[in-house]
Structure 1
Amino acid sequence: MKIRIEEYDNWLDQELEKALRPTRSKAGKLSDDARRALDEARSFFEELSRKADGNLATKKDPISYRAARVVGRVARDAISSIEKIQIPQEVSWDPYKVLRDNLSNTARSLRESRTNTQREIHGLYLLDMLSFSGIVERIAKVGEKISQFLEGDGENLQRAKTLTGIVETIHQTRLELDEKKKETVELERTREALSSVVKELSSEMEKITSNDALKQVLEIEKELRKESREFRTDTLTHLRRPLRKLRDLSQRGEIAIRTEERDALGEYIQSPYRSFLSRNSGPYLTPILTNLKSALASGKMGLSHRKTTRVVVQLDQLTTTEHLAEKQSKGRSLLGQRQRLLHDPNCKNLYLERKIVLKKIEEGKKNELQATERLHLAEDKIKTLNRHFEELLIQAESKTKQYLSRDVQIERPRLSK
């Protein structure tokens, strides 16, 4: 039998109602039995409590007085225990399991209480203790009946719970699928909007950078970055660690260096190429290298012979050739050209505007990437939910056939992608 998923829930309720009718009838009778047993027990212990209170007021001998006090306490405890037991209002597995457990535990507790009480009352309240035993056994018997019910016909309640649990999970999964689908639509819309903004900004960037003067500025900056990399990796390739060592020794006073040279040395360590081109610290590079050479010769640098040899060779190349002067001249020339170009207000405004647009593009791309990642996560979640949804439908069909002997085929809805 084929059935639409929207109809399966109501159909299952009707089928379970028919299948569980005999079971619910038995459960109702057991509830009545439990209620009668508990009402009878409550009445008995209330009467026993009143009797004990009366004896407390009239009995003067210690044994009778003590027995009345013990019996009164036991009766009140029993009433409290009985009143905590709730008779199920609906016929389902869990409430009846709780009732069974409560009845069994109460019967066991009352048995122990009766045994302990008999030891303390020295043969008094003999008839009451016999009635006590009967009350306990009736409670225990109802608990046993409910236990047998749960192991027999009550299994139908557990099966119904399983089926309704599957149906509930199906509904929850569909809701989650719908929510994820809405989320993917929103994320896709957000991603497209961000992509559109980035494209607009990129077009704006192209217009800005079409200015000839600005193009020259950007080419100069590109060349300066290249020169900076070469200066750090080639010119100072073996000198960075020795220069830091020279600074440390000079700060400790182990090597004498003029204050301005030490300050310039610190700048070279922090920002080599910028310091090299600077009018303030640039002239000090050659004296710094000369000081480094002297420090190496003094043996205070603590470098290995091999390392010292490499450093000395490089120092000789830098201090005896025009390499540094040429590098410095080229860099300063590039900086001068850049400065002259940016002196033009239009070029400067375009340059600043480009920086703002570039930052917006970077932020836009970052946000677009985040939206794309969230979209992929949502799509993966939908795939997982779709697989789980199909598994639940198969399980529902299988359990329906197993528990209700009805061969159903639930029509699949169009799954979210």
Structure 2
Amino acid sequence: MLWALVERVLPRASSALVAILLAYATSPDIVGIYTWLTLGVTLYLSVADGAARQVAVLAWRSSTGLDLIRRYGRIAGPSGLIVLSLVAVTVGALSGRWDLIASASPIVFVPLVNVRSVRATALMQVSGQWRSLALIQSIAAATSLVASVPLMLATASLLGPALQLFLTEAIFTILVRRRVSLTGLNKRAAGLTEGERLGGAFAHLSAQAALGWVQGQADRLLLGGFAGTSALGSYSLALAIGRNPGDAVSMATANVARSAVVDEASLEDARAVLDKLLIRALAATAVLVTLLILAVQLILPMFLNTDLWGRSIAAAGPILLSMIITVYAWSVSPVLVQFGYGKALTYIKLVGLAFAPAVAIGAVWDLQIAAWLVLGREIAMLLASVAICPRAAPRKALILSICLTLFGSVLLEAWALVR
């Protein structure tokens, strides 16, 4: 669990650091323009990469599954390049800031390198090489930061953050493929017999991920469309501080959960395994959330211009608290998929989508209102998943996640009143 956590936290932590440094060096308007570009990247990563990585964990067992991953690599990379180029041109035309768009050009090449790491990463996850994955992520994140941060601070442009994103993916891809080759995992995965065709599962997961992207980003799409890039930039910094750590921890826990239950024959057995795993994960998450909230509220105001970013800093607390809910919810999703309840995820995403207009309106009025609505959305989605498929819900971990969230909310409001 520790190395899986490190493997997912490092790229997210570096992204959060880049967002903070970009806020330090620029303004909400420029951060808003960069947000539009990264929305295109997250769309690709959700619809293509996210679905492919879930299928790849199962695909290595069969020749048909491996063929699917190979076809994915040939199609997804060029398609992603085209989509991100169209996004960049559109943002440039609407904003008139072609200088910023040109400086952010490395970002459109992310899909070309990302597709090359899917199969190798899955092979390392299945074989339990979390420590090696964490080391590779460390090298990729550190190298990209060393190369990009000086550029960002010196130029106050989007070249630094765009280069950091591209280099992280490129270096990770090179190292993970080399590791798989050196350890012989490629040969171990070759020559397998025919197995279950996973094309349908990939299509379903991709569609569900697209809906998830819309649900997760609709508030920013609406906010940017109606309130402009400056408001979008302020809200996006709050999300970068609050969601990047949460998404990293949640992804790490979900990766471990997926590997832990993949060999379980029944839903009841998988739920029991997941319950034990999640109780430990939630306890660690609660400690992490506490430390992060204290760091954000006490340290960031000394670093960032509070006249520009004070509202963003205040809004990060409730968003950080939602990490407890997403750790639980994201870990249950692989169990739903494995035992044939994947369609339930679509209905859960619709619940989250219904919150998007309220979050966007709240962000225009007050970022803290929007932050509490984000937390409320995660709780509503969690309760919807339990209502739709109660058999898949690890009960002890469910109670613990809700209690920790409610307790944390009370403490957060008490802290705001005292300050």
> TM-score normalized by structure 1?
0.19
Looking at CA atoms only, which structure, 1 or 2, has the larger radius of gyration? 1
TM-score (norm 2): 0.19
The structure that is helix-richer by fraction is 2
